C-alpha cells in the first residue's frame, strides 16, 4: 500500500485547535496589557505634583480601553486581571493606600 506524500505528511496547524489558539492570544493580550498598563501607570505617577497622588495625565485608561475594544468580550476578564495586577504593582509601590488603589481601579475600569 502506498501513501501519497501529502497524506503522509499532514501536520496539525493552529487552526486545528481553535481553543488553544484563543488561549495563546489571551496570554499575549494579558502580557501586553500588563506591560503597557504598568508603564503608563509609572508615567502617570511621575506626572503627579504635590502631596496628593493625583496625576495630570493617566495613560493606563487609554491602554485599558483600547485593549477592551480589541479583545472579544468573552476574554475581557483576562485583560482586566492583567491590568489589575499592573495597577497594584505600580501604585502600591508608590505608597498609595490600598483602599484608594482599589477604588481607582474600579473607576478606571
Q: Is residue 7 part of a domain?
A: no
Per-residue pLDDT tens over the stretch 49-84: 777 767 888 899 999 999 999 888 888 999 999 999
Q: Indicate the pLDDT class of residue 4, thresholds 50, 70 and 90.
A: low
- Give the number of C-alpha atoms closer than 13 A to the C-alpha of residue 77, restricted to the C-beta side: 2
| 97 located within any domain | yes
User: How many domains would you assign to the chain?
Assistant: 1
| Stated pTM of the model | 0.74
pLDDT at residue 71 in the model: 86
Helices 60-70, 18-46: axis angle to 10 degrees equals 170
What residue spans of the chain are helical by DSSP H? 5-8, 18-46, 60-70, 76-93, 98-108
**By residue range, what is the domain housing residue 100?**
17-51+60-108
Task: Tell me the percentage of the chain whose pLDDT exceeds 90.
Answer: 39
29: three-class secondary structure by DSSP: helix
Please give the grid coordinates belonging to residue 101: 488603589
Q: What is the pLDDT of residue 33?
A: 93
Dig out the grid coordinates for 80 from the structure. 482586566
In this structure, is residue 12 part of a structural domain? no
Answer whether residue 84 is part of any domain: yes
Amino acid at each position: 500500500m502506498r501513501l501519497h506524500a501529502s497524506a503522509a505528511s499532514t501536520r496539525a496547524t493552529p487552526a486545528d485547535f481553535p481553543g488553544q489558539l484563543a488561549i495563546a492570544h489571551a496570554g499575549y493580550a494579558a502580557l501586553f496589557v500588563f506591560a503597557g498598563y504598568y508603564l503608563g501607570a509609572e508615567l502617570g505617577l511621575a506626572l503627579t505634583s504635590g502631596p496628593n497622588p493625583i496625576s495630570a495625565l493617566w495613560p493606563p485608561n487609554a491602554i485599558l480601553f483600547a485593549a477592551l475594544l480589541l479583545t472579544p468580550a468573552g476574554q475581557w476578564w483576562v485583560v482586566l486581571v492583567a491590568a489589575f495586577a499592573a495597577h497594584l504593582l505600580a501604585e502600591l509601590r508608590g505608597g498609595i493606600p490600598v483602599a484608594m488603589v482599589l477604588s481607582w481601579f474600579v473607576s478606571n475600569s
